[in-house]
Amino acid sequence: MSQIDAVPSAHSSYTPSVRYITRLEQLQDLPPDQRAELEHVTRLYGFRASDYYLGLVNWQDPCDPIRQLVVPRIDELAGSGRLDASNEAANTIARGMQHKYPDTVVLLCNETCGGFCRYCFRKRLFMNGNTEVSLDQTLALNYIMAHPEITNVLLTGGDPLLLSTSRLGALLGGLRAIPHVQIIRIGTKMPAFNPWRVLEDESLQQTLGRYSTARQRIYIMTHFDHPRELTDPAIECVDRLIRAGVICANQCPLIRGVNDDPAVLSDLYRRLSWIGCPPYYLFQMRPTLGNQPYAVPIVRGWEIFREALRYGSGLARRARFVMSHETGKIEILGVDEKRIYLRYQRAKDPTLRGRFLVYKRNDDAYWLDDLVPADDEHAPRFAPESGLEIHAGPE
């Protein structure tokens, strides 16, 4: 029996001692020739997954969606892109702290995850020599205290729930001591990768409950990409979080070979709504280096998203399809025979906030940078070679 075969069933009441696998040689279900080939990928981008999560893989199916999420592919080494595709460096105030929008600060508070998603837009954090993450948030807390316009703090990384409970509690306590911080969000995939991080730690549940109050909530932004991740332990994990007093919502990217099917995406959204973790954002895949094998063109993505939203209750259809571009968060509103319609939900440049954008339809476009303004429209055109510079459309 292989190491992965030995993992208890995902639907078992047995509580496993979850281990993290970091070497391809530990994947006995992967043929030796494939492991040898994929070593070239892991030297650049790394590999990490829990034995529990790998136990969800159907190893007889090379296109298995769970496998696509965490097992490297050789074509990650091909294609173009940037490691910092949304230019987060331009918003970095200090190590581990980003301030892009006036009321929101992002804290990179951990440098590891329960697994390395192959399409991760922050895979640079897990590469050798990276120094962006900070475990000491003293400077960040002082900065937030000095800026009363900041009401919303997002804890991410890496995965904040892999911090020790005492360290996470100290950070939450520090933020709650700042009167103008109203919302704390925690971005995490631990309910999918290792639900026992929550299930086995009552002190973590109590800590979250202590700092998620009636007037100042903590939001857990879960990251379920496929319905098969919603196992019994994962659902129980979400239930414990809700009972602790936090509010759960799910966000995920559209991923080729994983959820780029209206039936799959609709099923995910409906199941999430049933367990009290409704969909929030569906992200267009960022053009991060190595991510091209997982990307879906904008037009095809819109068609998938639109079809998926035909089913389920209103709670299952709350998601918005967006691009997290370096200029702001851009919602993809619609596509017709000739045009693509977008709107800035949030923008770094105040003059762009809420701006409606119309571009020529391009079925091969993956990102805002690929789009050309429609005739007689004043949509900005972002030129990749020009850094942050934005060029206006035709007058």
Check residue 14 and give its pLDDT. Answer: 43
Within a domain: residue 241? no
Start-to-end C-alpha separation, the chain: 68
DSSP H or E stretch at residue 89: none
Q: Which residues of 254-279 are buried (b: 16+ CB within 10 A; e: fewer)?
A: bbbbbbbebebbbbbbbbbbebbbbb
CA distance 248 to 99: 24
Residues 6+ apart with CB under 8 A from 47: 21, 22, 23, 24, 41, 70, 71, 72, 116
Within a domain: residue 242? no
Check residue 387 and give its pLDDT. Answer: 46
Within a domain: residue 28? yes
Within a domain: residue 324? no
Check residue 24 and give its pLDDT. Answer: 96
Other beta carbons within 10 Å of 28? 15
Within a domain: residue 39? yes
Domain region containing 56:
20-77
Check residue 381 and give its pLDDT. Answer: 74
Query: Along the 395 residues of the chain, how does pLDDT read in single tens digits?
Result: 333 333 334 444 445 689 999 999 999 999 999 999 999 999 999 999 999 999 999 999 999 999 999 999 999 998 789 999 999 999 999 999 999 999 999 999 999 999 999 999 999 999 887 899 999 999 999 999 999 999 999 999 999 999 999 999 999 999 999 999 999 999 999 999 999 999 999 999 999 999 999 999 999 999 999 999 999 999 999 999 999 999 999 999 999 999 999 999 999 999 999 999 999 999 999 999 999 999 999 999 999 999 999 999 999 999 999 999 999 999 999 999 999 999 999 999 999 999 999 999 999 999 999 999 998 767 777 765 444 434 444 33
CA distance 11 to 271: 16
Within a domain: residue 24? yes
Structurally, the chain folds into a number of domains equal to 1
**In the structure encoding, which two tokens stand for residue 381, read together?**
């055109």
Check residue 79 and give its pLDDT. Answer: 77
Residues 6+ apart with CB under 8 A from 13: none
Cβ atoms of residues 354 and 343 within 8 Å: yes
Within a domain: residue 37? yes
Check residue 385 and give its pLDDT. Answer: 45
